[in-house]
């Protein structure tokens, strides 16, 4: 009986540590996939709206309003990892990470470098814009030392 108690005293903290690491790794995966999916959807929206609103390539505010705003979810909703259009602009400002490339090739058929749009979506874990804190259970108080920043990027061909 004493051996079982000693064995449990040794392995219980190890099992709890493994469980904690698995829970945090799964949260990173869920946030990463939500960012990637939101970036893909925003890039697709911007690329398909280019023909309707050609000025969208030079007007990031219009791109954010038309293409990124519908993707955001209200704070407190399940899976709300993208809650504000400012997340599509990264840290340096709204819209700065929505970029068009090779737009001169728009009318060239069969070109090897088709025009594309690149969208980056950022998750900053300091709780801004109502985002959940990461790590959720901050047992080691890592959020006071490290500001975790996750990004999802998507490239989509302008149609």
Q: What is the pLDDT along the chain (159 residues), one digit of tens a residue?
A: 778 888 888 888 899 889 988 988 888 898 899 899 988 998 888 888 888 888 787 777 788 888 888 888 877 676 778 888 888 864 333 445 677 776 665 655 656 667 888 888 888 776 666 677 777 777 777 667 677 778 888 888 887
Contact indicator for 31, 81 with CB cutoff of 8 Å: yes
Query: What's the DSSP call for residue 131?
Result: P
Q: Per residue in 25-68, pLDDT tens?
A: 888 898 899 899 988 998 888 888 888 888 787 777 788 888 88
Alpha helices per DSSP H over the chain: 2-49, 60-63
Render the burial of 111-123: b for 16+ CB within 10 Å, e for the rest: eeeebbbbbbbbb
**Both tokens of residue 45?**
């929206």
Domain boundaries, the chain: 2-157
What is the C-alpha to C-alpha distance for residues 116 and 14, in angstroms, rounded to an integer? 48
């Amino acid at each position: 009986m004493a051996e079982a108690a000693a064995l449990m005293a040794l392995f219980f903290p190890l099992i709890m540590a493994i469980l904690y690491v698995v829970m945090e790794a799964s949260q990173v995966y869920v946030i990463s996939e939500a960012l990637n999916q939101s970036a893909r959807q925003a890039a697709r929206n911007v690329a398909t709206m280019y023909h309707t609103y050609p000025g969208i390539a030079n007007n990031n505010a219009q791109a954010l309003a038309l293409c990124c705003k519908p993707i955001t979810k209200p704070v407190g909703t399940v899976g709300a990892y993208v809650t504000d259009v400012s997340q599509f602009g990264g840290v340096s400002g709204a819209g700065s990470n929505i970029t068009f490339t090779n737009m001169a090739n728009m009318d060239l058929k069969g070109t090897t470098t088709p025009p594309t749009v690149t969208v980056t979506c950022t998750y900053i874990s300091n709780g801004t814009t109502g985002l959940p804190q990461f790590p959720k259970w901050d047992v080691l108080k890592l959020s006071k030392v490290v500001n975790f920043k996750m990004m999802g990027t998507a490239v989509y061909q302008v149609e």
